[in-house]
Amino acid sequence: MSTPQQVAEAFSGHRFAEAYDALAPDVTWSSSARAPSSGGTPSSRPATS
């Protein structure tokens, strides 16, 4: 990913793996079904479906 628009398009298109490197290392993931989790480790990343 090289531009903010490309990152946004990948993320909004559910192509999360393409956007991970552009996210802050302390990103907080929120889901209505789960408690928030922080960081960019694979175990804390949301499922890609």
Whole-angstrom distance, CA of residue 38 vs CA of residue 29: 6
The structural domains of the chain, with segments of one domain joined by +, span 1-25
User: What are the residue ranges in the chain where pLDDT is below 50?
Assistant: 41-42, 44, 49
**5 contacts: CB under 8 Å, gap ≥ 6:** none
**pLDDT value of residue 29:** 74
State what percent of residues in the chain have pLDDT above 70: 65
Task: Give pLDDT, residue 32.
Answer: 75
| pTM of the full structure | 0.55
pLDDT of residue 8: 93
